[in-house]
Amino acid sequence: MTTNADEPKTRQRRRTPAGAAVLREDVTEAIRAAVFEELAAVGYARMSIEGIARRAGVGKTAVYRRWRSKLHLVLDVVSAIAVMGLPTPDTGSLEGDLRMLYEVTSRALRHPVASQIIPDLQAEAARNPEIADAMQKALREGQEGVASKILAAAEHRGEIRPGMDEDLALDLISGPLYWRAVVIRSPKLPKGYLGALARATTEGLKAL
């Protein structure tokens, strides 16, 4: 027999599916995808909840159920980039791991949507500390997590000395490619650039 104390829990369990159905994951993902498309099309300043909802094929209410403003929506989407992560290379050598990391990162940074969104959000980050923090997490922490594993593997193989300045090493690994792809926004990398960058970075790391 069900006691009175159990009845609220029972009713709560019965209500849960209805609440979960309101925030369907496919709708959430459609909205997130629409944010990227809208950012690329009009930029952060001109982006609106109405435009996102229209692009996602949902009503504005569906967006506001999940995020209370376009700022919080963009922060959520940008922050999600960091947790997606990059694959950790395992080629058996430091130079090989760096080459693979650069190839994957370069393709991601040169994706048409990313190449339009990142500079726009960087400009917004200069005016908005919350966006700056999200960009820091998305563009730096994700890359550094992989780079740290590459360095640890190289140290284990004896390719680099233990106890090096890891912050300096991480800057050396990530800086050049981001400079060319995000700051200079070179439309095309020179032939053999990634291989040359991996070799030069390897030698630089060995010298630290």
Model confidence at 93: pLDDT above 50: yes
Q: Which pLDDT belongs to residue 18?
A: 45
| 187 DSSP assignment | S
Q: Which long-range contacts (CB under 8 A, 24 or more apart) does 144-151 make?
A: 144/170, 144/174, 145/85, 145/86, 146/85, 146/86, 146/87, 146/88, 146/89, 146/101, 147/101, 147/173, 147/174, 149/88, 150/88, 150/89, 150/94, 150/97, 150/98, 150/101, 151/205
Q: Which pLDDT belongs to residue 184?
A: 80
| 68 DSSP assignment | S
Q: How sure is the predictor about 201, in pLDDT bands with cuts at 50, 70 and 90?
A: very high
139 or 101, which is more confident? 101
Q: Which long-range contacts (CB under 8 A, 24 or more apart) does 23-26 make?
A: 23/65, 23/66
In contact, 76 and 67? CB cutoff 8 Å? yes
Q: Where does residue 85 fall: left (phi above 0), alpha (psi -120 to 50 degrees), or beta otherwise?
A: left
19 or 92, which is more confident? 92
Mean pLDDT taken over the chain: 81
Model confidence at 12: pLDDT above 50: no
Q: How sure is the predictor about 80, in pLDDT bands with cuts at 50, 70 and 90?
A: low
138 or 39, which is more confident? 39
Q: What percent of the chain has pLDDT over 70?
A: 80
pLDDT tens per residue, range 149-187 = 999 999 999 999 998 998 899 899 988 888 887 778 777
Structure-token pair, residue 177: 């490619």
Q: Which pLDDT belongs to residue 40?
A: 81
Q: Which pLDDT belongs to residue 172?
A: 92
Q: How far apart, in whole angstroms, are the C-alpha atoms of residue 72 and residue 153?
A: 37
Whether the full predicted model's pTM is greater than 0.95, yes or no, is: no
